[in-house]
Amino acid sequence: MVLEKDFTIAEVDKRIYGSFIEHLGRAVYGGIYEPDHPTADEQGFRQDVIDLINEIDVPIIRYPGGNFVSGYNWEDGVGPVEARPRRLELAWRTTEPNWIGTNEFMQWAKRVNSEVNMAINLGTRGIDAARNLVEYCNHTSGSYYSDLRISHGYKEPHKIKTWCLGNEMDGPWQIGHKTANEYGRIALEAAKVMKWVDPTIELVACGSSSRAMATYAEWEATVLDHTYDHVEYLSLHTYYGNRDNNIENFLARSLDMDAFIHEVVAICDYIKAKKRSKKTMFLSFDEWNVWFHSNEADRKLEPWTIAPPQLEDVYTFEDALLVGSLLITLLRHSDRVKIACMAQLVNVIAPIMTTNGGDAWRQTIFYPYMHASVYGRGVALNPIISSPKYDSKDFTDVPYLESIAVYNEENEELTVFAVNKDTTGGLLLDCDIRGFSGFKVVEHLVLENEDVKATNTEKEPNRVVPHNRGNAEVKDGLLQAVLPKLSWNVIRLKK
């Protein structure tokens, strides 16, 4: 690998390390909010969960959905809690008590030092509800909805900067599913009135729910044809699973994410050319993760309960390796991907798990996510990599080495993130860093485990944890390290 200061991709937008909390399963109730928990604060929020989230340093959190938002009346979640209605939540077939809503979530987000990426309902609602919610959240005072917020005890506006125009509206499972033209029209009109209320906000239009959708690509082009001049971002969603228990093929799926981003960028630039626009469309990869472990259990859940254990994937060591590869892929596209949200943050396909009334712990995927967020701030460098490759069931020419580097000039720090996908042996990494004279290795973190199916549980929360016994060192301008087989590596250098 060759690294040079001038081989830059882009300044990494910190929001690329965002996450997502939906009113789904135990993400909210039993996750971030549990008034009877021993660590709960005066508002009912779990301090043990807050502490773990603060370890990751999550810069932005998408809320309140997800599929949930397409049937959500935001008015149900404001005002006196005792007066709020219970609703049948059709997206996930549960009962929503509305104990937590917009204001409470905004308060909680401050506790974890995070911005909020607020989604509006373009399924059962429309432009009127959208403009009213922006007014309620962002207008100072002197209007009906801003004064309503003040009457609810929140004098200062929330000043939410980033807003999603609905969720996965291309999906037949979505409440209020629309064609690309139908969605493009309502997204355009919602965008206009939302920015008339607050011209400072940024908007995310819905892209395809996955690269496998039948309407993929045509959907993006049609939606952007309508909205290009009025939105800043187009969304991408993807989830991966090792359903056939083929680790080589599973770890190659970062190539699918890479191709997905390349294709959506091409569509955005096609519309830019078609409109003779000088504006560049950026991407919000606002749902991504591994998700498949819990599918069978979710089919057996009793409907219409409050906060059942839905989508509670227990992640393996091999899942952490793919998550690390996906983070590297996002960084490799940081010139266009400015927002990304690991879905989700607590309990629901999440890096953090809890037991009601009990402990909170870090899943295997917590570690690459935390490492990237904490150490991946700065300028992403374009590495020149020569790696041996392999073929798998669905992919050819898969590099054994997946790597990226981030340079923080202000702190004089260089961080190399690397995944070795080889199932049989270590890789000797030779990295030319002659342009970084005087830089020395301060830490080489390694996440490895002999059991690719190893998990962290409440009883064994530290079965899969990183160690700092990596052997990286710099000699004569060459960074050398052995990357153990099937490992996530973080090599931190400082001048």
Q: Which residues are tagged catalytic? A: 168, 287
Largest CA distance in the chain: 69
Question: Which tokens belong to 285?
Answer: 């990869």
Q: What is the 3-state secondary structure (H, E, C) of 351-363?
A: CEEECCCCCEEEC
Q: Is the dihedral of CA 372, 378, 380, 381 positive or negative?
A: negative
153: phi then psi, degrees, rounded to nearest 5 = 100, 15
CB 118 within 8 A of CB 109: no
Buried b (16+ CB within 10 A) or exposed e, 125-143: bbbebbbbbbbbbbbeeee
Q: Rounded CA gap, 103 and 100, in Å?
A: 8
Angle between helices 180-197 and 218-227 (to 10 degrees): 30
Q: Rounded CA gap, 440 and 106, in Å?
A: 42
Q: What is the 3-state secondary structure (H, E, C) of 31-70?
A: CCECCCCCCECCCCEEHHHHHHHHHHCCCEEEECCCHHHH
Sequence-separated (6 or more) residues with CB below 8 Å from residue 44: 33, 34, 35
Q: Is the dihedral of CA 350, 446, 338, 270 positive or negative?
A: negative
Question: Dihedral, CA atoms, 69, 72, 75, 76, nearest 10 degrees?
Answer: -120
Beta strands in 196-252 (DSSP E): 202-205, 233-240
